[in-house]
Amino acid sequence: MLNHAIDIAFGLLGLAVVFTLIRLALGPDMLDRVLALDTLYVNSAAMLVLYGLELGTGRYYEAALLIAMLGFVTTVVLSKYITRGDVIE
Amino acid sequence: MLLSIVILIPLLGAWLPTALSRALGVDPARTAAALAATSLALILSQAPDVLAGATLVSGWSWIPTAGLNATFRLDGFGLLFALLILGIGLLVILYARYYLSPEESKERFYGLLLLFMGAMLGVVLAENLLLLVTFWELTSLSSFLLIGFWRHDADARRGARLALMVTGAGGLALLAGVLLIGHVVGSFELSRVLAAGPVIKAHPLYETMLVLVLLGAFTKSAQFPFHFWLPHAMAAPTPVSAYLHSATMVKAGIFLLGRLFPAFAGTETWFYIVSGVGLTTQLFAAYVALFRHDLKGLLAYSTVSHLGLITLLFGFGTPAGAVAAVFHTINHAVFKASLFMAAGIVDHETGTRDMRRLSGLARFMPWTAALATIAAGAMAGVPLLNGFLSKEMFFAETLQVQWLGSRYWVLPLAATLASVFTVAYSTRFVHDVFFGPPPQGLARVPHEPPRWMKVPVEILVGLCLLVGLLPALIVDPLLRAAGGAVLQGPLPEYSLALWHGFNLPVLMSGVALTGGAIIYFARRYYFGLHGYRQQRYDGRTLAEGLVALAVAGSRRLVDGVANASLQRYVLLLLLATLGVGLVGARGLSLAPIAALTPPDALAVALTAALAIAAIAATALHTQRLLALVLIGVVGLVVSLVFVRFSAPDLALTQLLVEIVTVLLLLLALYFMPAESPRESSRFRRVRDTMVAVAVGLGAGLLAWALLTRPFSTIAWYYLEHAKPQGGGYNVVNVILVDFRGFDTLGEITVLGIAAVAILALLQELRLVAPQRDWDGRPWAVERHPLMLRVLARPLLPLALLVSVYLFLRGHNAPGGGFIAGLVTGTAILLQYVAYGSDWARERLPWNYSTAIALGLLLATATGLASWAFGAPFLTSTFGYLHWPVVGEFELASAMVFDLGIYVVVVGVVMVIVGRLGALSGSGGRGT
């Protein structure tokens, strides 16, 4: 049962990634792209957890944890750059 | 042991004159004299044994596989030179105290002099030939510094450079010769080499060895055609000249001839090369010396000429010739040192060394005049002085030479001719300076120098007289010991008596004295003629021209290859890789041999995403921000690929590095236009694309070929041994901190160096920050958004907690110092972004470059600590502790090493980003 759920989840996540990548490619604005990158980070964290579930291991949990904790830093600095130019003032 | 101390006292004591003068105000001359006197006393304590014929060899093995041993040797010949070096060195130290003016750095002078003294002692006391060559090079280097002592003077600098060039090149030749000797004899120890004379002379490489060794000796002792550096070395302070010309430097070449005499001398090749060069030098330099107007210039060429005489004597290859050479070496050292000191006194008191301006000084400084006259008499070979005795022996030897057959008369004739010139320039030295009418137009009225400035001259001139009058008593024991050591065999019959009856040598002396006097007093008829030619033939122009040519050629080569264009470097590098790859891949079949893992949907999707993002980033690289976002995608996908292929450590590291990289690039982008212009021509773009595609295809095919072939790795070794030997389950971490800990130490050192280099490069750099964004809009007003601030603050403790967790478990599960350091660094950086660097620095007032140093020290200390337990560098150990609450807990010494890595990584991240972030200066921009 869980296997099927995981497969379905993977499929949905894959679709999300594809859509995100399209948004990243098309833009039209830089903000759209930054948000696409952010979404990509979130999707990756989800995929890492799913992958761990599938293999029945906690080995990749920390990678998901790090993305959850620090993945937004990329988004933050990009936004800071777009709004202020100077990232560290 | 004692011999090494004799050398080490001046060598290691070279900093003492400076240190004691600064700390306690001790006169540097006194310190230097005390050191030299200590060495002298130590040598003298061994003198009785050596004079009785003993050869003292001591030392220890150093790098036995290379034949390099720290072995020293004291025999009669070494003793003689050690006495000259230290004895005359002491007199020079005393003399220089009064010669140098108060504003000159005496500390530096005496330090360099001691360094040079130690190097010379090393040359004459070395038993191992490689050691000898090392000290030989050291004399070249330290004499370079001494000759260039007046570094504000362009002539001094050029003279020093010339000396270093010529003697340094000779030293290289000598090294090659010595290596060949070691190859032929099977040992570099002098005892073995000197006993192997017949083997060396019969060897097919004999001529090669001989020429190489002689190149070393001739460059050092300023033999024709390498003589030109010595007159230019006159730019040195006079005490240095006195020392270089008498007991040291040029005498090192003579020493080498004498030292290797038993191994090389006595063949026809030896005779023709050594005496040919010696005779040419003696004649030529004696002639040139006569036409020098500079006192020191005259003395310099006179030195060259006398060295030629000594070389000629060695060249005869006969025992009696060698003894005469040793004798003349002693005499020349004594009278030449006193003559230089006298010239220095004249210069010191009158302000000029030009003999055309000097005249009649005897009435102002009669005592100096008397001393200089006696010394010049010794140089000319006047009876009752020491120079006369060795000159007589020289004349007698020229009559004994067998090699020339029926043309036996050539040598005595040439020798007499050279002596005629010697007498002429000696007369000129005395008569031009001290006699005749009073001098005109001198800057001041000359008078006798300070008492102690004359004492060294008095001692030396006294020696000239004593040796001249009582040779058997004064110099015979030393000469016997030295001669015996040179010959390594029985001494020939010789007598040091003043009068041997009326014979041919006496007649030759008489001819020389009369002829010389006639030439000097008839000088007015041809002096003007030669005055014009003086500067034309000069080895310096040639040598400096060669250097200029070499520099120009190298520059052209460097400019041609390395024109600072990164595009060109990358192109050349890729083309070279492609070429090498094509050559290496010939005959490589691409058909798979080993089975491949079947691709699954995830792997295909990841690879496709990676490839598309990478190509897009390359294609869109002119739009910088967009390219950066695409690079972020690439980094993220690469981390996922690492996860897919079971490399969680790499995935974690990649994720964090990616975040920091984006931040770094954004800091730089701030100062750049949003789009970079296309600068390359269309042709270049097409060409570069083709090269890039070809190289990419090649790399891909290579990877394909490698993956489809069966291969074995050493992974099994690490997997098997990580737990039992390193104490950790995480093989990656155990490799990093334990198995390959030394590599890691090197890597974090490089990382630290890179951070320090960035710090140094960006020091003082202030860039103008743009006032508007790329679309011309003003920047947002809010500097530090509230949401970000609220979010960033609690993140720091959380991130630190995660760091500790990742660090502690690193040995057994994904994590470790590097990853933990990146987590901490990123979290601190977020504080900088959210609150501004001033705010953050106020609350985290750490010096991050110190942190780098501390981390490196910690890692190194961990490595060194294993020495205390008798284990090799960086050996690690581990054990288990039971902590309450936490439970079983592992402690490994590698964790301390890992802590060092952690600290270095945090420091490096903060230094680099902090430095880049401060480029616009704080508060330098309006809102």
Q: Give the residue from B341, B365, B312 showing the smallest Cα distance to B464.
A: B341
Q: What is the DSSP string of B303-319?
A: HHHHHHHHHHHHHT--H
Which run of H or of E encompasses B281? helix B276-290
Q: What confidence tier does B491 reach under pLDDT thresholds 50, 70, 90?
A: confident
Task: For residue A42, give how far its alpha carbon lies from the nearest alpha carbon of chain B (Å).
Answer: 11
User: In this complex, is the C-beta atom of B498 within 8 Å of any C-beta atom belonging to chain A?
Assistant: no
Q: Map residue B62 onto helix, strand or coil.
A: strand
Residues of A in contact with B651 (CB under 8 A): 60, 63
Query: In this predicted structure, what is the pLDDT of residue B752?
Result: 93
Choose among B643, B773, B784: nearest Cβ to A48: B643
Q: Which two tokens stand for residue B833?
A: 């972004």
CA distance linking residue B779 with residue A84, whole number of Å: 5
Q: Are strands B56-63 and B68-74 parallel, antiparallel or unpaired?
A: antiparallel
Task: For residue B779, give how far its alpha carbon lies from the nearest alpha carbon of chain A (Å).
Answer: 5
User: DSSP state, B74?
Assistant: E
Residue B527: is its pLDDT beyond 70? Answer: no
The CA–CA distances, whole Å, from B145 to B138, B163, B326 equal: 11, 10, 29
Mean pLDDT of B259-265: 91
Residues of B in contact with A14 (CB under 8 A): 605
Task: For residue A74, give how far its alpha carbon lies from the nearest alpha carbon of chain B (Å).
Answer: 6
Query: Rg (Cα) of chain A, in Å, rounded?
Result: 15
Contact check, Cβ <8 Å, B662/A78: yes
Q: Is B737 part of a structural domain of the chain? A: yes
Interface test with A, best of B612, B626, B636, B806 (most A CBs within 10 A): B636
Residue B922: is its pLDDT beyond 50? Answer: no
Q: What confidence tier does B532 reach under pLDDT thresholds 50, 70, 90?
A: very low
Q: Is B64 part of a structural domain of the chain? A: no
Query: In this predicted model, what pLDDT tens digit does every residue of B650-684 receive, in sequence order?
Result: 999 999 999 999 999 998 888 888 788 877 888 98
CA distance linking residue B196 with residue B191, whole number of Å: 9
Q: What confidence tier does B41 reach under pLDDT thresholds 50, 70, 90?
A: very high
Q: Which of B510, B541, B572 is the last residue of a domain?
A: B541
Residues of A in contact with B666 (CB under 8 A): 77-78, 81, 87
Choose among B629, B655, B823: nearest Cβ to A34: B629
Contact check, Cβ <8 Å, B659/A25: no
Please say whether the dihedral angle defined by the alpha carbons of residues B548, B549, B552 and B555, taken in this order, is positive or negative: negative
User: In this complex, is the C-beta atom of B37 within 8 Å of any C-beta atom belonging to chain A?
Assistant: no
Residues paired with residue B60 on neighbouring β-strands, in sequence order? B70
Task: For residue A63, give how far its alpha carbon lies from the nearest alpha carbon of chain B (Å).
Answer: 6
Contact check, Cβ <8 Å, A82/B827: no
User: DSSP state, B596?
Assistant: P
Choose among A33, A67, A80: nearest Cβ to B655: A67
Query: What value of ipTM does the predicted structure carry?
Result: 0.95
CA distance linking residue B780 with residue B506, whole number of Å: 105
User: In this complex, is the C-beta atom of B828 within 8 Å of any C-beta atom belonging to chain A?
Assistant: no
Task: For residue A71, give how far its alpha carbon lies from the nearest alpha carbon of chain B (Å).
Answer: 7
Residues of B in contact with A17 (CB under 8 A): 609
Q: Which of B541, B560, B590 is the last residue of a domain?
A: B541
Residues paired with residue B70 on neighbouring β-strands, in sequence order? B60
Q: Map residue B71 onto helix, strand or coil.
A: strand
Query: Rg (Cα) of chain B, in Å, rounded?
Result: 38
CA distance linking residue B569 with residue B559, whole number of Å: 12
Residue B336: how many other CB atoms lie within 10 Å? 28
CA distance linking residue B131 with residue B69, whole number of Å: 7
Is residue B792 within 8 A of residue B830, CB to CB? The reply is yes
User: In this complex, is the C-beta atom of B648 within 8 Å of any C-beta atom belonging to chain A?
Assistant: yes
Contact check, Cβ <8 Å, A85/B670: yes
Q: What confidence tier does B730 reach under pLDDT thresholds 50, 70, 90?
A: confident
Query: In this predicted structure, what is the pLDDT of residue B525?
Result: 62
Q: Give the residue from B752, B912, B917 showing the smallest Cα distance to B833.
A: B917
Does B231 sit behind a cis peptide bond, omega within 30 degrees of 0 on the bond before it? Answer: no
Residues of B in contact with A70 (CB under 8 A): 655-656, 659, 799, 823, 826-827, 830
Pairs from B872-881 (Cβ < 8 Å, separation ≥ 24): B873/B742, B874/B741, B874/B742, B874/B745, B876/B726, B876/B727, B876/B737, B876/B738, B876/B741, B878/B726, B878/B727, B878/B728
Q: Is B224 part of a structural domain of the chain? A: yes
Q: Which two tokens stand for residue B388?
A: 């006369």
What are the two backbone dihedrals, phi and then psi, of residue B899, each rounded to the nearest 5 degrees? -60, -40
SS3 content of chain B, % helix, strand, coil (to 5): 70, 5, 25
HEC sequence for B386-400: HHHHHHHHHHHHHCC
Query: In this predicted model, what pLDDT tens digit does every residue of B454-473 receive, in sequence order?
Result: 899 999 999 999 988 888 88
Residues of B in contact with A60 (CB under 8 A): 643, 648, 651
User: In this complex, is the C-beta atom of B627 within 8 Å of any C-beta atom belonging to chain A?
Assistant: no
Q: Map residue B69 onto helix, strand or coil.
A: strand
Query: In this predicted model, what pLDDT tens digit does every residue of B190-240 receive, in sequence order?
Result: 999 999 888 999 999 999 999 999 999 999 999 988 888 888 888 889 999
Query: In this predicted model, what pLDDT tens digit does every residue of B179-198 receive, in sequence order?
Result: 999 999 989 999 999 998 88
Q: Which two tokens stand for residue B830?
A: 């977020």
**Average pLDDT along chain B:** 87
Interface test with B, best of A66, A72, A83 (most B CBs within 10 A): A66
Residues of chain A that touch chain B, judged by Cβ-Cβ distance less than 8 Å: 10, 14, 17, 21, 24-25, 30, 33-34, 37, 40-41, 44, 47-48, 51, 59-60, 62-63, 65-67, 69-71, 73-74, 76-78, 80-89
Task: For residue A5, give how far its alpha carbon lies from the nearest alpha carbon of chain B (Å).
Answer: 17
What are the two backbone dihedrals, phi and then psi, of residue B126, each rounded to the nearest 5 degrees? -80, 140
Q: Give the residue from B133, B135, B130 showing the smallest Cα distance to B182.
A: B130
CA distance linking residue B228 with residue B218, whole number of Å: 12
User: In this complex, is the C-beta atom of B633 within 8 Å of any C-beta atom belonging to chain A?
Assistant: yes
Contact check, Cβ <8 Å, B788/A63: no
Query: Taking the CA of residue B564 as centre, how many other CA atoms within 13 Å lie in the half-sphere pointing to its CB?
Result: 1
Query: In this predicted structure, what is the pLDDT of residue B924?
Result: 39
Contact check, Cβ <8 Å, A81/B836: no
What are the two backbone dihedrals, phi and then psi, of residue B281, each rounded to the nearest 5 degrees? -60, -45
Contact check, Cβ <8 Å, B832/A88: yes
CA distance linking residue B619 with residue B623, whole number of Å: 9
- The percent of residues in chain B predicted with pLDDT above 70, rounded, is 97
Q: Please state the domain extents for chain A.
A: 2-84
HEC sequence for B799-859: HHHHHHHHHHHCCCCCCCHHHHHHHHHHHHHHHHHHHCHHHHHHHCCCCHHHHHHHHHHHH
- Amino acid of residue B410: V
Minimum mean pLDDT among B37-46, B461-470, B557-566, B826-835: which range? B557-566
Name the residue with tokens 């083309």. Answer: B575
Q: What is the DSSP string of B551-594?
A: HHHHHHHHHHH--S-HHHHHHHHHHHHHHHHHHHTTT---S--S
What are the two backbone dihedrals, phi and then psi, of residue B868, each rounded to the nearest 5 degrees? -60, -25
CA distance linking residue B471 with residue B494, whole number of Å: 12
Residue A1: how many other CB atoms lie within 10 Å? 5
Q: Is B395 part of a structural domain of the chain? A: yes
Interface test with B, best of A6, A59, A74 (most B CBs within 10 A): A74
Task: For residue A1, give how far its alpha carbon lies from the nearest alpha carbon of chain B (Å).
Answer: 21
Q: Any idea which fold A2-84 has?
A: Helix Hairpins (1.10.287)
B921: left (phi over 0), alpha (psi -120 to 50) or beta: left
Residues of A in contact with B814 (CB under 8 A): 59, 62
Full domain range(s) for residue B241: 153-541
Contact check, Cβ <8 Å, A87/B632: no
Interface test with A, best of B606, B620, B629, B631 (most A CBs within 10 A): B629
User: In this complex, is the C-beta atom of B917 within 8 Å of any C-beta atom belonging to chain A?
Assistant: yes
Q: Which of B514, B541, B568 is the last residue of a domain?
A: B541
Query: Taking the CA of residue B151 as centre, how many other CA atoms within 13 Å lie in the half-sphere pointing to its CB?
Result: 6
Residue B441: is its pLDDT beyond 70? Answer: yes
Write down the H helix ranges in B381-503: 386-398, 410-434, 451-469, 471-474, 476-487
Interface test with A, best of B610, B634, B655 (most A CBs within 10 A): B655
Number of domains in chain B: 2
Q: What distance separates the 2 farthest-apart alpha carbons in chain B? A: 115
Query: In this predicted model, what pLDDT tens digit does every residue of B589-629 receive, in sequence order?
Result: 777 777 777 777 778 888 888 888 899 888 888 888 889 99
Task: For residue B232, give how far its alpha carbon lies from the nearest alpha carbon of chain A (Å).
Answer: 60
Contact check, Cβ <8 Å, B662/A74: yes
CB pairs under 8 A between A and B: 134
Contact check, Cβ <8 Å, A63/B643: yes
Among all residues of chain B, which has the CA nearest to that of A74? B659
Task: For residue A35, give how far its alpha carbon lies from the nearest alpha carbon of chain B (Å).
Answer: 10
Task: For residue B772, give how far its alpha carbon lies from the nearest alpha carbon of chain A (Å).
Answer: 8
Most confident residue range from B384-388, B525-529, B714-718 = B384-388
User: Regarding predicted confidence, which is higher, B853 or B714?
Assistant: B853
Q: Is B365 part of a structural domain of the chain? A: yes
User: Regarding predicted confidence, which is higher, B38 or B442?
Assistant: B38
Contact check, Cβ <8 Å, B769/A47: no
Residue B774: is its pLDDT beyond 80? Answer: no
Angle between helices B366-380 and B319-350 (to 10 degrees): 160
Is residue B219 within 8 A of residue B169, CB to CB? The reply is yes
Q: Map residue B878 onto helix, strand or coil.
A: strand
